Amino acid sequence: MAAFFSYTSSLAGLFTPAASYTTGAFQEGSIETSEALFQAKCWGQYWAVYAALPSLLPNAAVVLMSGAASARPLGAPAYAACNAALEGLARGLAVELALRRVNCLSPGTTDSALWQRRPAQVREAAYQQWCTQRAATPCDRGRTGPRGAVSAR
């Protein structure tokens, strides 16, 4: 990652939105799944911020991405713990990196490839618990304003 960020010395912001991982039940006891989740989602964002630090402007913004499971888990405790760890990381970085702004987004359930790979009963239970009308799609996440105000794609 350091090589990637070496191409610039003036980043106004860093957003770390995505990782590829799988989740699993605690009782399944998969060390590989649990550790790979932290490696991809938590440590990936941690080290991305670290690698970008020399290039971040003094007033830059850093935005990490956690998930709703930190506050409302549906099983998969490693996933809940990973999201909570990212929120703690954001708070710690906000103190250490001030005047830079550090925030953590938790977009909630999104009908994305991650959720589509989960068993239907787990996916539907999450949609029922977290979604008031329907799960958002990745295209919905960038939208501002009322639904009718978005032009046709």
From residue 120, alpha-carbon distances to 57, 60, 78, 81, 99 in Å are 44, 41, 20, 23, 44
User: pTM for the whole thing?
Assistant: 0.76
Average pLDDT, the chain: 82
Query: Mean pLDDT over residues 47-62, rounded?
Result: 96
* Radius of gyration for the alpha carbons in the chain, expressed in angstroms and rounded: 17
Number of neighbouring beta carbons within 10 Å of residue 12: 9
Residue 72, amino acid:
R
**Nearest one of 86, 76, 90 to 125, comparing CA atoms:** 76
Give the tens place of pLDDT for each residue, 96-112. 999 999 999 987 777 77
* 135: exposed, middle or buried (Cβ count in 10 Å: 0-12, 13-18, 19+): middle
The predicted structure's pLDDT at residue 25: 81
Give the tens place of pLDDT for each residue, 124-137. 877 777 666 665 66
The predicted structure's pLDDT at residue 19: 79
